[in-house]
Amino acid sequence: MQSDATITDTSSKSPIRSIALIVFVVFINLLLFEGLSQAYLRFVSNMPNYDLLFQTHPFLAGVPKPGISAGRSGIRISHNTSGFRGAEIKDPEPPGNIRIVTIGGSSTYCVSVTDSATWP
């Protein structure tokens, strides 16, 4: 006797579902890595305390607190009264000098470098 039942292969998943799962797993791993990195930087490493150096900002992760100087394990970080890293800025600029502004993230600011090793 022959059956008219159709056998359906349920082992294959749709490609969209597989891609969504991969994206989700990668996202969770990145989130976990970020959390562990932040915990290490804040509690284990020799870098100065972020809460002393930075203040909250509505559009940025944080901005330097003006007039702060902090250090730990030989790393000294200072902000002048304008909130920039380093010594006070002479205003107006002496004749013949040119000011250069740099904008960037850790490659420009770097909390693991002491004041004496930063850009002049």
Give the per-residue pLDDT at 23: 95
Strand partners, 85: 79
Q: Exposed e or buried b for every residue in 18-36, given b needs 16+ CB within 10 A?
A: eeeeeeeeeeeeeeeeeee
Q: Tell me the pLDDT of the chain (120 aa) as tens digits.
A: 565 656 655 556 688 989 999 999 999 999 999 989 888 877 776 666 777 888 988 988 888 999 998 887 788 889 999 888 888 888 888 888 888 888 877 778 888 788 888 876
pTM of full prediction above 0.85:
no
Q: How far apart are CA 52 and CA 36, in angstroms?
A: 21
